Amino acid sequence: MLNSLPDTAYVSKGLGNMIALLIFMLVSLNCVYATCNYHGTVHQLGTSFDAIDGCNICFCKTHGISCTEKHCMNPPADKR
């Protein structure tokens, strides 16, 4: 038996790939506005910005926000 998976497995995988490609194309064409909301401020996908602690940098990525995690030696006065 060369193929032990049912035909529906291939259809599902193909449909999933087509949906992923459609989403990618819509985001690439700016039909879908990908943004991140960080403490009330909206940032565009692919941008970087200062973290709330004033010491680190954050990035707006497709999976959400990620920030560096450096220890703040001298945080700004309003962040202490």
In this predicted structure, the answer to whether residue 11 has a pLDDT above a threshold of 60 is no
Do 17 and 38 have their domain in common? no
Structural domain including 5 reads 1-32
Q: What percent of the chain has pLDDT over 70?
A: 66
- The pLDDT of 6-34, averaged and rounded, is 67
Which position has the higher pLDDT, 7 or 65?
A: 65
Contact 66, 59 (CB under 8 A): yes
Domain harbouring 73, CATH code: 2.10.70
Alpha carbon distances (Å) from 10 to 1, 5, 18, 23, 26: 16, 8, 12, 20, 24
Contacts of 5 by beta carbon, 8 Å cutoff, 6+ apart:
none
pLDDT for residue 1: 46
Residues 33-47: tens digit of each pLDDT = 689 999 999 999 999
